[in-house]
Amino acid sequence: MSRTTLPQQYYVDPKIFQAELEKFYFRSWICVGRASEIPKPGDYFLREIGKESVVVVRGGDEAVRAFFNVCRHRGTRICTTAEGQFPGRIQCGYHGWTYGLDGKLTAAPHMEEPDFCRENYPLQGIAAEIWDGHIFVNLDRSAEPLSAQLGDLLHKFSAWGVGELRMAARKTYDVKCNWKLLVVNYNECLHCPILHPLLNRMTHYLSGTNDHPAPAYIGGSMNFREGVQTMSVQGKRTRACLPGLTGEDRERVLYYTVYPNLFLSLHPDYVMTHMLWPQAVDQTRVICELHFHPDEMRKPDFNPSDAVAFWDTTNREDWRICELSQLGIQSRAYKPGPYSAKEGLPQAFDEMIMGSAGDLRTEDGR
């Protein structure tokens, strides 16, 4: 394939955007959050995926399940609060149809017809699985297991013990650009000396190595500069390293994109995640979370602000340049530009998008 950026329509055409939602968000496994967000039976959160609303809930049997947020009576959206706890049941506010935490219909007032069978009207379930503490869902009823999509990622980050970590900070950003520009930006650091003065003091932009691009992910490592211990405002660790790490993993950061919507940043003393939620062809909501070991979080002097402030600054620098990229690509002057030999990961992502072009069918068949 040509070593150039994508054609303009991939960033500005609403029909291609809708087709990408269908392909990558409705027919593949996507990360929706962390299992630790819903620790008790009845705990839930909502995720909006395009025009779909998904309820992710912890059942009475401790299992994590996902359902379309749609009542089986009139199709009414049941839940409107972003997160909370159900009182042992899920009830529609229209006619009182009530469901168990397992999605089974338990009450349907006034449905007294002899041929009515409650067992025929459960909430519409969505496949849900957990990997390293991340909850993934797949809206495709014929989906293969999550392991088939992740491939060799299943145990790749086991040393970080990501499933044991707990969220200490979350920030949500609304970025005025196409979701793919965020992926491209995250997967190269040639811009770091210009755009990220603080980050560039912590790691050299040409350090580390990249993995060979895989069907489910792209990513690689960056090494700390001399004297740097972690990615924070001062570059010094105020927390112990994650207990499973040894050797070089204490001296570097890993940055991976798990297609289509999860960024994983694995540090010696914490793990950062970004989840991408496309809102429109030129609008993306980004949820950034920082996760730490619970032993550190229990310490009375635990304070994640050094890492939170560092990444809030870096995030905002990235979001601003991605917004400027969107504005430039919208111009009639835009033409695909060349990738350098050091931009293999962004190129691999673009090639994946172009390779999926045959699946990006719009409603009118184009």
Is 110 part of any domain? Answer: yes
229 and 297 both lie in a single domain = yes
Average pLDDT for 262-278: 98
Tell whether the model's pLDDT for residue 32 goes beyond 60: yes
Residues forming a β-bridge with 57: 44, 65
Q: Tell me: the pLDDT tens digits for 244-267?
A: 999 999 999 999 999 999 999 999
Contact 272, 259 (CB under 8 A): no
Q: Are residues 207 and 275 in the same domain?
A: yes
| Domain-terminating residue out of 142, 177, 193 | 142
The band of 362, judged by pLDDT with boundaries at 50, 70 and 90, is: very low
Q: What is the pLDDT of residue 1?
A: 46
State whether the Cα torsion 184-190-192-195 is positive or negative: negative
Residue 306, pLDDT > 80, answer yes
Number of domains in the chain: 2
Query: Does 243 lie in the same domain as 138?
Result: no
Q: Average pLDDT of 61-71?
A: 98
**Terminal Cα distance for the chain, rounded:** 22
Choose between 20 and 357: higher pLDDT. Answer: 20
Residue 332 has pLDDT above 50, yes or no: yes
Where residue 188 sits, what CATH number does that domain have?
Answer: 3.90.380.10
Instruction: Give the per-residue pLDDT at 364.
Output: 40
Q: Are 81 and 147 in contact (CB under 8 A)?
A: no
Q: Do 107 and 168 lie in a common domain? A: no
197 and 296 Cβ atoms separated by less than 8 Å: no
Per-residue model confidence (pLDDT) at position 358: 63
Share of the chain above pLDDT 70, in %: 97
Domain span at residue 115 reads 30-142
Both 131 and 169 in one domain: the answer is no
Buried-state track 177-208, b at ≥16 Cβ within 10 A, e below 16:
bbbbbbbbbbbbbeebeebbebbbebbbbeeb
pLDDT beyond 70 at 363: no
* Domain assignment present for 190: yes
